[in-house]
Amino acid sequence: MEHRFIQGEEHQPVFVLLHGTGGSMEDLIPVAEHLNSDASILSLQGEVLENGMRRFFKRFPDASFDWCDLEKRGEQLLDFLKEAASMYQFKLSDVILVGYSNGANMAINLLLKEHGNRLNRAILFHPMYPTTETRTANLADVSIFASLGVKDPIVSVTQSEQVIALFADQGANVTQFWTTGHQLLQNEVEKARKWLKQQL
Ligand code: MLT
């Protein structure tokens, strides 16, 4: 998988970066450096092309998720993360997923697959996860920071609340921060940075 790895200091987290639709693996690197300049960074590039725009999984023409594709690519991404952990010598439990929009949605899929002692922390900027599946996992070890928009043109307030409920109802520790639209703004990065300091 196309990626960029930046080695950080010892005993610091590893940010796994997942960009939004139409983005690239370069997009979130300045955000990660602001979150914690000592951390390692593994920035990934989505392999799906939608009208030339990169994404982490396919969606249908009406913009609904192709859940089969999301499941398949989530598994592949997880396999890649395990390979990368051995190649770059880090532990999955040191990973903090950082995703924006489509990348945040993939991060949710990874967390739900691999929570427990392994992947259990994420910063989700403007996620949506409109599943009707009733899950009954114990997510007590999971901590997430989510930023959401009250007037987000892509994610409705109901869909944002659904993401919060998906985690909170299963015992995860959820910190939410509401902004206006879908854009990733400095103030939410700042809030995420404060949240991160409390996690370490
Ligand atoms: C998605 O498809 O993941 C969401 O609709 C967000 C987006 O990428 O526009």
The ipTM is 0.95
- pLDDT of amino acid 199: 86
Out of 40, 43, 101, 143, the active site residue is: 101
What is the position in ligand 1's atom list of the atom closest to the CA of 20? 8
- pLDDT of amino acid 118: 86
Closest CA to 13 of 183, 182, 138, 199: 199
Parallel, antiparallel, or unpaired for β 48-50 and 14-18?
unpaired
- The pair phi, psi for residue 196, each rounded to 5°, is -60, -40
- pLDDT of amino acid 162: 96
- pLDDT of amino acid 132: 80
Q: Does the annotation count 152 as an active-site position? A: yes
- pLDDT of amino acid 122: 98
- Residues of the chain falling short of pLDDT 50: none
pTM: 0.96
Give the pair of three-digit tokens for residue 29. Answer: 């690197």
Out of 19, 115, 126, 182, the active site residue is: 182
CA of 28 to the centre of ligand 1 (A): 16
Ligand 1 pocket, Cβ-based, cut-off 6 angstroms:
20-21, 59, 63, 101-102, 105, 128, 154
What is the position in ligand 1's atom list of the atom closest to the CA of 128? 4
CATH code for position 106: 3.40.50.1820
CA of 124 to the centre of ligand 1 (A): 13
- pLDDT of amino acid 117: 65
Q: What is the biggest distance separating any 2 CA atoms in the chain, rounded to whole angstroms? A: 45
Note down the domain range covering 84.
3-199
Residues in contact with 33: Cβ distance below 8 Å, sequence separation at least 6, in sequence order: 41
Count of domains for the chain: 1
- Single-letter amino acid code for the residue at 56: F
Mean pLDDT for the chain? 95
Q: Does the annotation count 160 as an active-site position? A: no
Cross-strand bridge partners of residue 55: 48
Q: In this structure, are residues 68 and 60 in contact, taking their beta carbons and an 8 Å threshold?
A: no
- Single-letter amino acid code for the residue at 172: A
- pLDDT of amino acid 200: 65
DSSP H helices in 49-101: 67-87
